[in-house]
Amino acid sequence: EVHATLRQGQKMEAIGNLAGGIAHDFNNLLQSITGSLQLAGRHMAQESPEYRRIALALSAVDRGAKLASQLLSFGRRQPLEPRAVHTGSLIGDIVAILSSAVGEGVDIRTTVAPDLWNIHADPTNVENALLNLAMNARDAMNGHGTLTIDLSNAVIERGGSAGGVDLAPGEYVRIAVTDTGTGMTSDVLEQVFEPFFTTKAAGRGTGLGLAMVYGFVKQSNGHVTIESKPGSGTTVILFLPRTSAETHTQSRSPEAPVVGGS
């Protein structure tokens, strides 16, 4: 689907520029609101009802600022700083963050294949992508269920594909994030990577999570694919290129599954 991908890219860029511009001005406004509120509350007793109203307004502004910064980073298409990332450590570090983000009702399980390769990517973006996927999983499970993160090595052969979409031949780390949630209809599945597509209630979803995941993975020369059916949960699979240093010095690992190929 070269066409769809191209159009998606152009659309994302246009919307990204627009969103980035709005977010920037919006952020300036929020900062002036914050400044005024802080000044207004300066001489108030912390327990007074007036001060509590100001604190409420400040926290609403704070939420707005978070949304604006999300839009801003989407619009800015921040340059990535890819480097060799020890995949196992990255997952170890982020599991604590993920479990506090998804709450106690979600059981997080990680399985890491032996001799897992390292990836060449921007670690902050990998973490943000996983956080986005985990939050979506939590929402789809209504806060209760199992989130499995499975990491393995994958070799894509010439002519190989992942989930029916072409992927450059090479060696990748495959990160599969599976939830036991509602799953998606094919109609929803077709649109999930579109910026601003959301089925969540107003104020709950921005529709930017998967668009950002898509953008980051593509920028990293990787690939993302989703398997989902209503009632049987969802698996989002990221393919991220392994570090080239290792590619040259290590032979192909025999336990790496071969995807596609002829």
The secondary structure of residue 236, as a DSSP letter, is: E
Selected binder of ligand ADP within 113, 126, 140, 175 (CB under 6 A): 140
Angstrom distance (rounded) from CA 65 to CA 87: 31
Task: Tell me: does residue 180 bind ligand ADP (CB under 6 A).
Answer: no
Selected binder of ligand ADP within 82, 181, 215, 222 (CB under 6 A): 181
Selected binder of ligand ADP within 27, 78, 206, 219 (CB under 6 A): 206
For residues 67 and 206, is the Cβ–Cβ distance under 8 A?
yes
> Which residues from 49-108 bind ligand ADP, rule CB under 6 A?
none
In 10 A of CB 45, how many CB atoms?
A: 9
Minimum Å distance from CB 178 to ligand ADP?
9
Angstrom distance (rounded) from CA 166 to CA 226: 14
Minimum Å distance from CB 211 to ligand ADP?
6
Selected binder of ligand ADP within 8, 182, 220, 243 (CB under 6 A): 182
Among the listed ranges 94-102, 166-174, 184-192, 238-246, the one in contact with ligand ADP (CB under 6 A) is: 184-192
User: At 249, phi and psi to the nearest 5?
Assistant: -100, -20
Task: Tell me: does residue 137 bind ligand ADP (CB under 6 A).
Answer: yes
Among the listed ranges 60-68, 134-142, 216-224, 251-259, the one in contact with ligand ADP (CB under 6 A) is: 134-142
Task: Tell me: does residue 197 bind ligand ADP (CB under 6 A).
Answer: yes
Selected binder of ligand ADP within 20, 88, 163, 205 (CB under 6 A): 205
Selected binder of ligand ADP within 199, 219, 225, 253 (CB under 6 A): 199
Angstrom distance (rounded) from CA 15 to CA 259: 34
> Which residues from 216-245 bind ligand ADP, rule CB under 6 A?
234
Spell out the alpha helix ranges (H) of the chain: 2-41, 49-76, 87-102, 123-140, 186-189, 209-219, 244-249
Using CB atoms within 10 A of its CB, is residue 127 exposed (0-12), middle (13-18) or buried (19+)? middle
Strand partners, 175: 151, 238
Angstrom distance (rounded) from CA 129 to CA 176: 12
- Closer Cβ to ligand ADP, 112 or 188, answer by number: 188
Task: Tell me: does residue 26 bind ligand ADP (CB under 6 A).
Answer: no
Q: Which tokens in the block code for residue 139?
A: 């929402």
Binding residues (CB under 6 A) for ligand ADP: these are 132, 136-137, 140, 179, 181-182, 184, 188, 192, 197-200, 205-211, 234
